[in-house]
Structure 1
Amino acid sequence: MVLGRAVNMSLMDISKIFSLLQPKEEEGDSEQCQALNNAVSSNDVTLLSELLSQESHRRCINACSGWGVPVTPLRTAAALGHLRCLELLLEHGAEIDCLDVKAQTPLFTAVSGKHLDCVVALLKAGADPNGSEYNNCSPLLTAAREGDADVLRELLRFGAQVDVRPKVPEWASSGTACRGPLYISAIYGHIDCFKLLLLHGANPNYNCTDEKMLARIKQPKTVLEVCLRYGCGVEYIQLLIDFGADVYLPTLIIDKTTKQNEALALLLKERVCPKTLMSQTRLVIRRHVSFTDKEPAIDSLDIPQILRNYLKHDTTKFM
């Protein structure tokens, strides 16, 4: 039964790939399609503008061309970081969330290439910050893995989902942890991204709010457990505690072989020492600020600046 479902899914995926490869009748002459891509590849804005002034070339704006894997001009501009070409294509109606054969959108390729200006331009033009539903990865996961806090901040500002969203069938969920952005940023040691995700509401326990997914995982591991297992520094544990992680959830096996490091000691101390009233108040207020980007909402509160800084976990200004 499971094998049958796996085969069906594979056939669906293959069909999707081949449908993306098939040229469409309205794509026009292949030479004109290639001319657009060549202009973008060489970052020749003048030539691209001239080509797009012609109806025959404008008809090919969403056509795929090129050696190997065919791609659209917009995808090429995003991958190479050619901002002005990208903006010009968008101005002439390029399809913003077009997919390549890997089900990657232009935004995804811009994030992968760390082209911040192109990422911002695409998001402002209406690109889906979550990428494609056909791709198991996402722009946010990619930015978290690469430790690109600036790109991550823009994705979150434009509404990217901060917690993991499963894109695999039930039979394929065999892991012990929800490998969401928070998990990934911890494993790769990107503390700035880790804190940024928490500031935008990432779940500090499982980095997942999908109860069905959690139910499918046998003995799911919390982010705290993952941080301890991979030797993340004490600053990761402190952030999770500050953002309300349940310190009693992790299963800790402590014996003679367990390294009593500072991070573990902090967690054990937190289990016996209650949170301060200020810390508990901050958690409650942040939970009641419903916006994904909480900073503007907190800044609008009629309270002293020192308290606004505290609510935003800005300890550098809390003096």
Structure 2
Amino acid sequence: MSLMDISKIFSLLQPKENEEEDTICSRELNQAVFRDDHELLTELLSQEKYRKSINHRSGWGVPVTPLRSAAAQGHIRCLQVLLDHGAELDSLDVKAQTPLFTAVTGKHLDCVVALLKAGANPNGSPYNNCSPVLTAAREGDVDILRELLYYGADVDVKPKVPDWASNATTCRGPLYISAVYGHLECFRVLLQYGANPDYNCTEEKMLAKIKEPKTVLEMCVRHGCGLEYIQLLIDFGANVYLPTLVVDKESRANEAMILLLRERVCPKTLMSQTRLSLWRFLPMENKMSSIDCLDIPQILKDYLYHVS
């Protein structure tokens, strides 16, 4: 390789003048965000060169946009300034994480709400193995979970794995995760927003690849999640005949097993059957908002909400 060729390669590797200026401007924006100095951030963004660099990534390790920095650190005032100046909502970092995902991970409810109101995708990035809903369900952040579902997040989202890697883990969605981690209120909210009470994974193609897929009800019994979880699943229409029950002396003393066996032989009350029929009639997405639109007394709405 000649000296001329080497010089040409090095010249190509050098950052272009505009890119270098964008990086410097982005670094200054990120520094203002890091210090939570929203006044300085506003002053910088009043200048054209900084507005042009608002979506540029900078920083050591994982280069990030200023909006991603604000979301990760929970600096709501800086985040709002960036949103007001048109920062890209769903920009990805090298981990395929959106600003919303980092706000959920950091448990910054106010930032989550601001991003969702501005139009951020409540499901995060399709290229990320995890999702905001799965994260909130695992961490027990019921308020964040409720906001995500209100803005249309997939209530039955599953971990993203290749088709060839399909196994029982791919069926472990937010409902299952909230149960095994002991987050009862998250479990309730997921059901209220239409989570499938039988299987987290509802794709027939995926289920066909898994030998003997387990229902959420069966997994709750196995993990000893408690009667509250079992009762909620039954109230929301879980099929009590799907789980394989092994009845022996030990299981006969198990309260969850007793409840399931009783449900198998005792018919539901007329009110319970009516509630389930209305519940299934409602659209899959955002059932809670659909109930609000019904022209019925509040006491009946509460019954449909499973509040009473």
Normalising by structure 1, we get a TM-score of 0.87
In the other structure, the counterpart of 1:122 is 115
Q: Give the letter aligned to residue 61 of structure 1.
A: I
CA RMSD of aligned residues (A): 2.0
Looking at structure 1, the residues matched to 105 and 220 of structure 2 have their Cα atoms a distance apart, in angstroms, of 25
Looking at structure 1, the residues matched to 129 and 107 of structure 2 have their Cα atoms a distance apart, in angstroms, of 20
In the other structure, the counterpart of 1:211 is 204
Report Cα offsets for 1:248-286 as digits up to 9, x if no partner: 001122334547321121111111111111101100011
CA separation of 1:177 and 1:246: change in aligned 2, threshold 3 A:
farther
In the other structure, the counterpart of 2:230 is 237
Looking at structure 1, the residues matched to 54 and 170 of structure 2 have their Cα atoms a distance apart, in angstroms, of 42
In the other structure, the counterpart of 2:9 is none
Looking at structure 2, the residues matched to 23 and 120 of structure 1 have their Cα atoms a distance apart, in angstroms, of 38
SS in 1 for 2:120: coil
2:260 to 264, 267, 286: 267
In the other structure, the counterpart of 1:47 is 40
1:106 to 89, 93, 99: 99
| Count of residues paired in the alignment | 294
Offset at 1:54?
Answer: 1.4
Offset at 1:176?
Answer: 5.8
CA separation of 1:25 and 1:31: change in aligned 2, threshold 3 A:
closer
Looking at structure 2, the residues matched to 280 and 207 of structure 1 have their Cα atoms a distance apart, in angstroms, of 23
1:251 to 244, 254, 263: 244
For residues 22-41 of structure 1, the aligned pairs below 5 Å read: 28-41=21-34
2:160 to 142, 150, 167: 167
Offset at 1:307?
Answer: 2.2
Does structure 2 conserve the Cα–Cα contact (< 8 Å) formed by 1:116 and 1:150? yes
Gaps of 5+ in 1: 1-21
CA separation of 1:29 and 1:166: change in aligned 2, threshold 3 A:
closer
Does structure 1 conserve the Cα–Cα contact (< 8 Å) formed by 2:158 and 2:171? no
For residues 64-213 of structure 1, the aligned pairs below 5 Å read: 64-165=57-158, 167-175=160-168, 178-213=171-206
Offset at 1:242?
Answer: 0.3
Offset at 1:303?
Answer: 3.2
Looking at structure 1, the residues matched to 203 and 102 of structure 2 have their Cα atoms a distance apart, in angstroms, of 27
2:304 to 296, 304, 311: 311
Normalising by structure 2, we get a TM-score of 0.90
CA separation of 1:177 and 1:77: change in aligned 2, threshold 3 A:
closer
Report Cα offsets for 1:17-40 as digits up to 9, x if no partner: xxxxx9996573432221110000
| Higher radius of gyration, 1 or 2 | 2
Report Cα offsets for 1:27-81 as digits up to 9, x if no partner: 7343222111000010001111111111111221111111211111100000001
Looking at structure 1, the residues matched to 152 and 275 of structure 2 have their Cα atoms a distance apart, in angstroms, of 23
Q: Give the letter aligned to residue 169 of structure 1.
A: P
Q: Give the letter aligned to residue 111 of structure 1.
A: V
Does structure 1 conserve the Cα–Cα contact (< 8 Å) formed by 2:158 and 2:170? no
CA separation of 1:98 and 1:263: change in aligned 2, threshold 3 A:
same
SS in 2 for 1:281: helix
CA separation of 1:37 and 1:263: change in aligned 2, threshold 3 A:
same
Looking at structure 2, the residues matched to 81 and 303 of structure 1 have their Cα atoms a distance apart, in angstroms, of 40
Gaps of 5+ in 2: 1-14
SS in 1 for 2:168: coil
